[in-house]
């Protein structure tokens, strides 16, 4: 019982650390690049896009998609590792 409990809390701890890392990226691309640092980044242009503007209206959305699938992959590996996956 206690053994499975430590297993479960180790699984949860690793899960939390993955979540925190992804949330940091989530925050940086949207609130960081898209809002807080937008003026600084706008000094750089790529084609007709100012970089800060691009992150706010395009880039952050692409990153969000990648983040979700990255998490799904990571957590699936973790499920296997701790043998808590379905079926």
Burial of residue 21 (number of CB atoms within 10 Å: 0-12, 13-18, 19+): middle
Which one, 2 or 56, has the nearer CB to another protein? 56
Q: How far is the CB of 63 from another protein (least distance, A)?
A: 9
Which residues in this chain contact another protein in the complex, by CB under 8 A?
8, 11-12, 15, 19, 22-23, 26, 30-31, 34-36, 38-39, 42, 46-50, 53-54, 56-58, 60-62, 64-65, 67-69, 71-72, 75-76, 79, 82, 84-86
Query: 8, 33, 29, 20: which is closest to 71 by C-alpha?
Result: 20
Taking the C-alpha atoms of residue 73 and residue 22, their distance in angstroms, rounded to an integer, is 12
């Amino acid at each position: 019982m206690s053994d499975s409990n430590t297993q479960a809390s180790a699984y949860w701890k690793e899960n939390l650390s993955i979540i925190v890392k992804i949330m940091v990226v989530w925050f940086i691309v949207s609130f960081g690049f898209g809002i807080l640092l937008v003026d600084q980044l706008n000094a750089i242009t790529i084609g007709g896009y100012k970089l800060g503007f691009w992150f706010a209206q395009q880039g952050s959305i692409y990153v969000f998609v990648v983040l979700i699938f990255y998490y799904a992959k990571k957590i699936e590996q973790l499920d296997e590792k701790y043998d808590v996956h379905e079926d």
